[in-house]
Amino acid sequence: MEIQDAQKFINSKSYKTPCYIFKKKTLINLLDYIDVSIKTKYHNIHLAYSFKTNSDYKVLKVLLKKNISIEVVSKKEYKIAKQMGFKNIIYNGPAKSKKTFFDALKNNYIVNIENKRELSWLKSIKSKKKIKVGIRVNFSLSNFITDTKIINSRFGFNLYEDLKKVLKDIEQYKNIKVVGLHYHVSQLERMPEKFKVVIQELLIFAKRNKLKLDYIDIGGGFDCFNNSQFTFDDYMKAIDNYKKFNKNIKIIIEPGYGLINSCYDYLTTIVDIKKTKKTNFFLCDGSKLHLNIKSKVNSFDVDFIKEIPSKKQKENYIVGMSCMESDRLYLSNNKLLLKVNDKILFKNCGAYTSSWVSNFILKEPYIYTLNSDF
C-alpha cells in the first residue's frame, strides 16, 4: 500500500493515540512462511516463540491457534502459557519456581536446567520413571567469530569448564536422562554464522561425551523480516549445516525479535510545535518509554511524514512526552511538513516494547489489532 493510502486507512480507523497496532495478518503470514520453508527446504527444525518478547493476549492467541511451541522463562509466564492451553512448552531461565519446575517435568515439557538450584530440585525427585531434561550451556563466540565481544555468560553452565562435572553428577541418578542442550547468546550478535558455530560445538561435545541428544535448542537472536540485513533463509542455511554431523537430532529455534518485531507499529499524534532559533521540536503524544528507552534517535522507521529539503540548516526533532531530554524519536535536517493533530507512524516495534512498558510517567498505550494487511 502507498504511504498516502496507508495514512488514509489508519486515519479512517480513528485510533486513539498513542497506540500500538498489532498487524495480525503479518504474523499469520510469517508463521505460514516459516512453516512452509522449514517443511519443504529444511530438516527437523522446530519453531518455538519467546513469550517474553511480546506476550500480548492477541499475539499469544495467534500462536496458540497455529500450534506453535512457546518458550517461557518464569513462573508467571509458565502459568499463563499453560492456562491458555499451549501444548508444547519450553521452560528456560533462572526464574522458575520449584512447583512449576516439577509440573513441567510431569507434563513432559522441555525443561532446560539453568543452575545448581534447579539441579538440586531435579536430584530430589525419587520417582523411578525416566525424567528427560536439557541443560543450558554457554561459551563465548569470540574464539570463533571475529569482532564478537568476550562474554562470561551468567546463564547455564560453561560448555568447556563445567558441563562435564554436571553430567557426571547427574549420571549417578539413574532416573535422569540428559536429552538436550540449550544455548542462547544474550549478546547483540545476530549473524547467522553464530548458529553454525553453536550447533557444531554442542554436537562435538555430545559426541566426545557420548551424550545421546534428542534436541539442541539454539534460542533466539534472529534478525529477519525487519528490513534486516539477513533473511530467514540465511539463518536456516546456517543451521541446516548440522546435518553433516547428526541427521536425527531436532533443532529448536526460539525467535522473539526476529518474529514479532515487524508485526507491530506505533501510532502517535503531534500535539505541539515549538520553533526555536536552531531547532524545531515536534512534540508527539508518544514516547521512547513505549518503544525502547535506550534507543538512539532515528532507531525506528517512520511513516506519514512529508519532508522537503531546506536551505536552513535547522534540526527538526520529533520528541516524546516524558521528562527525559533524550526522549527524541526522530531527527531530520529537512523541513518537516507537520501540523498539530497529524499522525506519525513508527514502524516495526513489536519486540520488547509492549511487554516492557511501565507506568512511569505515562499510561500504557492503547493496543489495536488490525486484521488485514496495510
Ligand X SMILES: Cc1ncc(COP(=O)(O)O)c(C=O)c1O
Check: CB of residue 141 under 8 Å from CB of residue 191.
no
| Part in contact with ligand X (CB under 6 A); list of ranges 37-45, 256-264, 281-289, 359-367 | 256-264
| 50: contact with ligand X by CB under 6 A | yes
Binding status of residue 134 toward ligand X by CB under 6 A: no
Q: In sequence order, which residues have a C-beta less than 8 Å from that of residue 43 and are 6 or more positions away?
A: 240, 243, 247
Based on the shown chain and the rule CB under 6 A, indicate whether residue 184 belongs to the binding site for ligand X.
Answer: yes
- Which of residues 222 and 317 has its CB atom nearest to ligand X in the complex? 222
**Number of chain positions touching ligand X (CB under 6 A):** 16
Q: CA angle at residue 24 from 268 to 62, to 5 degrees?
A: 135
Distance CA 308, CA 286 (A): 24
How far is the CA of 264 from the CAs of 25, 26, 35, 57, 253, in angstroms? 11, 9, 21, 14, 21
Stretch that binds ligand X, among 81-89, 248-256, 313-321, 362-370 (CB under 6 A): 248-256
Asked whether 320 and 365 are in contact (CB, 8 A), the reply is no
String of contacts with ligand X for each residue 304-343, x by CB under 6 A: ----------------------------------------
Phi-psi region of 356 (alpha: psi -120 to 50; beta: other; left: phi over 0): alpha
Question: Does residue 254 bind ligand X (CB under 6 A)?
Answer: yes
Cβ 176 to ligand X shortest distance, Å: 22
Toward ligand X, which CB reaches closer, 213 or 319?
A: 213
Distance CA 11, CA 17 (A): 11
Applying CB under 6 A, among 18, 156, 219, 350 the residue interacting with ligand X is 219
Part in contact with ligand X (CB under 6 A); list of ranges 58-66, 196-204, 215-223, 283-291: 215-223
Nearest residue relative to ligand X (C-beta): 220
Q: Would you say 195 or 257 has its CB closer to ligand X?
A: 257
Nearer to ligand X, 186 or 209 (CB): 186
Binding ligand X (rule: CB under 6 A), the pick from 18, 134, 156, 255 is 255
Which among 197, 222, 220 has a CA at the least distance from the CA of 92? Answer: 220
Binding of ligand X by 225 (CB under 6 A): no
Look at the block and give the residue holding cell 558441563: 163
With CB under 6 A as the contact rule, the residue among 256, 286, 320, 365 that binds ligand X is: 256
- Rank residues 82 and 182 by Cβ distance to ligand X and give the closer one: 182
Q: Determine the residue type at 302.
A: V
DSSP string of 107-136? TT-EEEE-SHHHHHHHHT----S-EEEEEE
Q: Segment contacting ligand X (CB under 6 A): 9-17, 123-131, 213-221, 284-292?
A: 213-221
Cis peptide before 18 (omega within 30 of 0): yes
Distance CA 221, CA 237 (A): 15
Residue 221 interacts with ligand X (CB under 6 A): yes or no: yes
Using CA atoms in the order 101, 104, 109, 111, what is the torsion angle rounded to 10 degrees? 0
> Which is closer to ligand X, CB of 134 or CB of 221?
221
Task: Please state, in angstroms and rounded to a whole number, the distance separating the CA atoms of residues 360 and 41.
Answer: 46
Please choose, out of 214-222, 224-232, 329-337, 364-372, the segment that lies near ligand X by the rule CB under 6 A.
Answer: 214-222
Measured from the CB atom, is 220 or 365 closer to ligand X? Answer: 220
Instruction: Verify binding: residue 258, ligand X, rule CB under 6 A.
Output: yes
If binding is defined by CB under 6 A, does position 53 make contact with ligand X?
yes
The residues near 161 (Cβ < 8 Å, ≥ 6 apart) are: none
Residue 340 phi/psi, 5-degree rounding, is -60, 140
Asked if 156 touches ligand X (CB under 6 A), the answer is no
Site mask, ligand X, residues 83-102, x = CB under 6 A?
---------x----------
Chain contacts with ligand X (rule: CB under 6 A): 50, 53, 71, 92, 184, 186, 219-222, 254-258, 351
